[in-house]
Amino acid sequence: MKTQLRKWIAWAKNKKFLSRKVLVPFFAAVFAVFFLFSFVKDHIAWVGGFPVYKKSKKEISKKTPEEIPSSVKAYKVARVSFRDTLPSLGTIRGFREFDLKFPVAGQLEYVNFKEGEKITQGDILASLDQKEALLKLEYAKIELEKQTKLFELGSIVETKLKQAQLEYQSAKAELDKTNLVAISDGYIGSLDLDRGAFVTPQDKVGVFVDVKDVYVDFGVIEKDVAKVREGQNVEVTVDSYPDQIFKGQVDSVSPVVEGKSRTVRVRSKISNADEKMKPGMFGRVNLLVYEKDEALVIPSSSFKKKEDQYFVYLVHPEAPKEGEAEPIPARPQPEKRSKKQKGGAPSSAPEETKSVYGTIEVRNIEVSYATPDAIEVKEGLEEGDLVVVDVEQELQDKAKVEITETQEGIF
């Protein structure tokens, strides 16, 4: 074996395989191949058949969660006029709205007004045939005059005279019952019978409506009944005047939950001096169940509840470094416009914004009143504080955050 090895070395020397001119380039080539293989293995990845450079694990910096700020939106707490409303649908009714009926039976002889016509207090709206009533009145009048003369002559006692007076008053009252008289100013809402019809005290001749004031009748669902009480403000709009709000107050609340709808009937009186609201109109009602001026309000998306305690994520912005301008909270970029706006004036360039960073404080608050969209804060916050809105994740106390947008005056 040794003899064979010596023979091979001697042969290699003769062939100059072990000379420096051969060995140095050989080992240099081997080292270059090894280095290239190691580099490719650590820094090159193949994506879709193409080589892509990748960072080595040593180049990736490791940061703790505290060093990576979360992006949040903030709301600047302010005092606003805060109110809660219950929406409903209702029907407009006349302030006085009742059926016109004669107290006695008879044939309808005169109808003095048309549907929708305005009437004045004291106007005779309709009359029955009065022939029989007039005869009775005339007879009672003659009898009264006769008894009066006999009493003056001393031929009859006073009782006879009083009897004649009562018969005359009764005949006059019977005549009055043949006329329908307007008890106040208003309108004829409808007429159901025509001249010549025979009517009884049960028959409706028409409808009288007084619209100087109107009522709106609407329903409140059972679960909201506790929020309703007399005297609360009500706002009503109708399709005929969609831009005008008619205001009034709750006049009465029914003590009964009605029917399958499980609602309580509420009636509100509305001033209607210009008579724009007509009985029968469809009204959209907002019942103001809570109102307060200068209330400290935040969006409902900015607070969380744990057991019986409410809390918010209060943001303490970092003060700008010395010599730096105060940073502007980032806001969504506006849509791009052409270089020239209408009229040829060049559009202004969007204002550059800088990131604002801050520290989280988990702050307990006390709630005065809550709605699905907002809550009134009684204690725990001050005007001008920044709170995180659209909370989707748990934030730790003293965590670093980046404020991407600040909302103001959204109520």
pLDDT at 8 over 60: no
Tens of pLDDT, residues 72-118: 888 999 898 888 999 999 999 988 888 899 999 999 999 988 888 88
Clarify whether residues 249 and 305 are in a common domain.
no
pLDDT at 356 over 70: yes
Clarify whether residues 28 and 113 are in a common domain.
no
Residue 116 backbone class (left: φ over 0; alpha: ψ -120 to 50; beta: rest): left
Clarify whether residues 202 and 227 are in a common domain.
no
pLDDT value at residue 70: 82
pLDDT value at residue 401: 86
Tens of pLDDT, residues 315-347: 998 876 555 555 545 444 444 444 444 444 444
pLDDT value at residue 65: 53
Least confident of 32-46, 51-65, 205-219, 253-267: 51-65
pLDDT value at residue 310: 87
Clarify whether residues 104 and 198 are in a common domain.
yes
pLDDT value at residue 274: 86
Clarify whether residues 107 and 152 are in a common domain.
yes
Tens of pLDDT, residues 196-254: 899 999 999 988 888 888 999 999 999 899 989 999 999 999 999 989 999 999 999 99
Domain assignment present for residue 59? The answer is: no
Last residue of a domain, one of 175, 207, 239: 207
CATH number at 192 reads 2.40.50.100
Q: Is 273 exposed, middle or buried (0-12, 13-18, 19+ CB in 10 A)?
A: exposed
Clarify whether residues 299 and 237 are in a common domain.
no
Clarify whether residues 200 and 221 are in a common domain.
no
Clarify whether residues 113 and 196 are in a common domain.
yes
Task: State how far the Cα of 173 lies from the Cα of 262, in Å rounded to an integer.
Answer: 48
Last residue of a domain, one of 292, 308, 340: 292
pLDDT value at residue 86: 92
Strand (E) or helix (H) holding 8: helix 2-15
Domain assignment present for residue 49? The answer is: yes
| Block residue for tokens 């509420």 | 266
Task: State how far the Cα of 389 lies from the Cα of 394, in Å rounded to an integer.
Answer: 12
pLDDT value at residue 259: 78
Average pLDDT of the chain is: 80
Domain assignment present for residue 26? The answer is: yes
pLDDT at 23 over 70: no
Tens of pLDDT, residues 298-315: 998 888 888 778 898 999
Clarify whether residues 173 and 263 are in a common domain.
no
Domain assignment present for residue 240? The answer is: yes
Q: Which residue has the higher pLDDT, 2 or 3?
A: 3
Q: What's the half-sphere exposure (Cβ side, CA atoms, 13 Å) at 25?
A: 4
Give the count of domains, the chain. 4
* CA-to-CA dists, residue 329 to 113, 165, 318, 342, angstroms: 70, 94, 12, 29
Q: Which range, 10-24, 312-326, 353-367, has the best average confidence (pLDDT)?
A: 353-367
pLDDT value at residue 5: 53
Clarify whether residues 199 and 238 are in a common domain.
no
Least confident of 21-25, 55-59, 153-157: 55-59
Clarify whether residues 8 and 103 are in a common domain.
no
Domain assignment present for residue 142? The answer is: yes
Domain assignment present for residue 66? The answer is: no
Could you tell me the residue range of the domain that residue 251 belongs to?
A: 85-92+210-292
Clarify whether residues 200 and 214 are in a common domain.
no
Give yes or no for a contact between 238 and 92, defined as CB atoms under 8 angstroms apart.
Answer: yes
pLDDT at 181 over 50: yes
Residue range 4-18: mean pLDDT, rounded: 57
Percent of the chain with pLDDT over 70: 75
Tens of pLDDT, residues 120-167: 889 999 999 999 999 999 999 999 999 898 888 888 888 888 999 999
Percent of the chain with pLDDT over 90: 30
Domain assignment present for residue 58? The answer is: no
Last residue of a domain, one of 292, 311, 328: 292
Q: Is 314 exposed, middle or buried (0-12, 13-18, 19+ CB in 10 A)?
A: buried
- The SS3 call for residue 254 is strand
CATH number at 305 reads 2.40.420.20
pLDDT value at residue 87: 93
pLDDT value at residue 250: 94
Domain assignment present for residue 45? The answer is: yes
